[in-house]
């Protein structure tokens, strides 16, 4: 027991106690002070010319051209690409996909996903910057804005001005063009799901069905809202791809990057000033053009940010500035972290090869599924009333219904037959003719002398074969019951 402890020992064992103020901050989303709840600043994108913007524009033209043209193509008298949801069949040129062909659609989605993973691991978010419909449509809307309201500075000035006749006209013309373009592209889009020529005709003569009109108006409003108003919000807050793309990045991924070592310290200077490095300046003249041209409104000089869609607009803007200043291009460029740190970039690396191998495997599986696909489906339905019955001739009879679907686009005559270790009497049609996409039910009865076998049941196989093409055939096994004897 420590009853006689001296005062000095007690002093040494004292623990300093500090008063820690506890401050609990109550978060109120309505308070405008918090920057994350501050109203979004409108981004006035400045037009820029350069290699990457030319590539993006041409890719956009090709994408938009294909999108607008494809539904108008005809193939053997019908719309070449028609994803008919009400009829539950997708026509893609000579191929017709039915709900049973879901695996083919699944392969297409898996291929698209792995192609995206592969491209992202290799070249960052270039899909977003060059081909994503959100980007393509947004740049077209910005083009309308620029043609009607003028350059970035003119648009900012116009927005700051009080309302006038000229301002109203320019704004109204811009929104009219946005809405007209949205309506046109929505009609084309819905035309992938319903005959496009009829849709156009019926929509403008007010004869289109309720659902066709509703779909067109819905997609018109979505396009107008996304490309006209939401723009970069889609890419930065809504699109899930922006959030998980970093999982595919590594130090060898090409991303749009500002060369900080070369650019800093940034600052303005005269074009004739050749001694700027001695004054401690880097190559960045702080003109802010890279920020003005950015469709997501970020400053790439702050490092890699998830908002960046790798569109390369800031590269073109900066290269232009560098050329005017007489400096070498590439202050902002597509480069890798390894390259920036003076290390070699490994293009062929396990991660990329892994994605490529899976992509090749999935493409092969898809090609095999397509190649081995038989444009024919058969289901055998047994008579639910009785497994077997004995007819007036003393033969045992089993009754089946063959449900046959012609999954091709043409009328086809199918031959029907059965094979087994016994000789059956076939009661019913030996052929059936079905139109393209039609499903027919064929009732068949098989009869057998019960004394021809000692078995209580026999394995039998029905065969359906296209009359003029032996390669299109399907076999399905079932049983023939003779009962207890």
Which residues make up the interface to ligand SF4 (CB under 6 A)?
129, 256, 258, 263, 266, 284-290, 293-296, 298, 300-301, 308-314, 317-318, 321, 331-332
Secondary structure class of 152 (helix, strand, coil): helix
Min dist. Cβ of residue 275 to ligand SF4 (A): 18
Q: Which of 129, 239, 144, 137 is nearest to 185 (CA)?
A: 137
d(CA 425, CA 389) in angstroms, rounded, equals: 14
**CB-count exposure of residue 411 (10 Å: 0-12, 13-18, 19+):** exposed
Min dist. Cβ of residue 378 to ligand SF4 (A): 54
Min dist. Cβ of residue 333 to ligand SF4 (A): 10
Min dist. Cβ of residue 283 to ligand SF4 (A): 7
- 257 has which bridge partners? 333
Q: Residue 132 or residue 331: which is nearer to ligand SF4 going by CB? A: 331
Q: Residue 281 or residue 298: which is nearer to ligand SF4 going by CB? A: 298
Q: Residue 268 or residue 443: which is nearer to ligand SF4 going by CB? A: 268
Tokens of 334: 């597509």
Q: Are 216 and 186 in contact (CB under 8 A)?
A: yes
Q: Residue 128 or residue 148: which is nearer to ligand SF4 going by CB? A: 128
Q: Residue 171 or residue 262: which is nearer to ligand SF4 going by CB? A: 262
d(CA 420, CA 435) in angstroms, rounded, equals: 30
Q: Which of 322, 294, 289 is nearest to 307 (CA)?
A: 294
Min dist. Cβ of residue 327 to ligand SF4 (A): 9
Q: Residue 255 or residue 399: which is nearer to ligand SF4 going by CB? A: 255
Q: Are 194 and 213 in contact (CB under 8 A)?
A: no
Min dist. Cβ of residue 356 to ligand SF4 (A): 25
Min dist. Cβ of residue 351 to ligand SF4 (A): 23
Min dist. Cβ of residue 197 to ligand SF4 (A): 39
Secondary structure class of 265 (helix, strand, coil): coil
Question: Which residues neighbour 45 within 8 Å (Cβ) at sequence distance 6 or greater?
Answer: 142, 152, 292, 293, 294, 295
Q: Residue 58 or residue 102: which is nearer to ligand SF4 going by CB? A: 58
Q: Which of 407, 405, 431 is nearest to 417 (CA)?
A: 431
Q: Residue 334 or residue 424: which is nearer to ligand SF4 going by CB? A: 334
d(CA 126, CA 136) in angstroms, rounded, equals: 12
Min dist. Cβ of residue 313 to ligand SF4 (A): 4
Q: Residue 196 or residue 309: which is nearer to ligand SF4 going by CB? A: 309
Q: Are 164 and 172 in contact (CB under 8 A)?
A: no
d(CA 168, CA 174) in angstroms, rounded, equals: 10
């Amino acid at each position: 027991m420590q009853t006689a402890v001296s005062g000095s020992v007690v002093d040494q064992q004292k623990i300093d106690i500090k008063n820690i103020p506890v401050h609990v901050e109550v978060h109120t989303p309505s308070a405008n002070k918090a920057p994350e709840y501050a109203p979004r600043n409108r981004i006035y994108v400045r037009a820029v010319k350069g290699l990457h913007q030319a590539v993006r524009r041409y890719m956009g033209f090709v994408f938009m051209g294909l999108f607008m043209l494809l539904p108008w193509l005809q193939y053997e008298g019908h719309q070449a690409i028609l994803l008919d949801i009400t009829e539950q069949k997708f026509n893609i040129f000579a191929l017709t996909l039915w709900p049973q062909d879901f695996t083919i659609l699944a392969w297409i989605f898996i291929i698209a996903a792995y192609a995206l993973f592969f491209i992202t691991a290799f070249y960052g978010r270039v899909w977003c910057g060059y081909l994503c419909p959100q980007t393509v449509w947004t740049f077209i809307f910005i083009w309308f804005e620029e043609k009607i309201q003028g350059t970035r500075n003119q648009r900012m000035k116009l927005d700051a001005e009080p309302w006038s006749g000229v301002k109203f006209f320019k704004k109204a013309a811009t929104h009219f063009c946005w809405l007209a373009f949205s309506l046109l592209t929505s009609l084309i889009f819905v035309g992938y799901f319903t005959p496009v020529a009829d849709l156009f005709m019926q929509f403008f003569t007010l004869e289109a069905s309720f659902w066709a009109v509703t779909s067109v108006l819905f997609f018109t409003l979505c396009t107008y809202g996304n490309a006209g108003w939401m723009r970069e919000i889609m890419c930065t807050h809504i699109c899930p791809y922006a959030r998980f793309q970093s999982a595919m990045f590594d130090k060898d991924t090409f991303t749009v990057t500002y060369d900080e070592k070369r650019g800093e310290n940034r600052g303005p200077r005269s074009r004739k000033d050749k001694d700027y490095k001695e004054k401690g300046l880097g190559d960045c003249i702080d003109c802010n053009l890279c920020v003005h041209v950015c469709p997501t409104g970020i400053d790439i000089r702050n490092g890699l940010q998830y908002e960046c869609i790798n569109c390369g607009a800031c590269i073109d803007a900066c290269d232009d500035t560098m050329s005017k200043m007489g400096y070498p291009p590439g202050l902002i460029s597509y480069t890798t972290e390894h390259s920036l740190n003076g290390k070699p970039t490994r293009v062929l690396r396990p991660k990329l090869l892994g994605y490529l191998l899976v992509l090749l495997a999935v493409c092969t599986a898809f090609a095999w599924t397509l190649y081995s696909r038989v444009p024919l489906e058969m289901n055998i339905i047994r008579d639910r009333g009785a497994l077997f019955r004995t007819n007036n001739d003393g033969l045992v009879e089993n009754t089946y219904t063959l449900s046959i679907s012609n999954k091709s686009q043409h009328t086809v005559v199918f031959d029907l037959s059965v094979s087994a270790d016994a000789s059956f009497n076939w009661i019913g049609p030996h052929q059936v003719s079905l139109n393209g996409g039609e499903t027919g039910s064929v009732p068949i009865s098989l009869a057998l002398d019960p004394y021809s076998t000692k078995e209580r049941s026999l394995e039998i196989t029905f065969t359906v074969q296209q009359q003029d093409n032996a390669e299109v055939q399907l076999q399905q096994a079932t049983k023939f019951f003779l009962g207890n004897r």
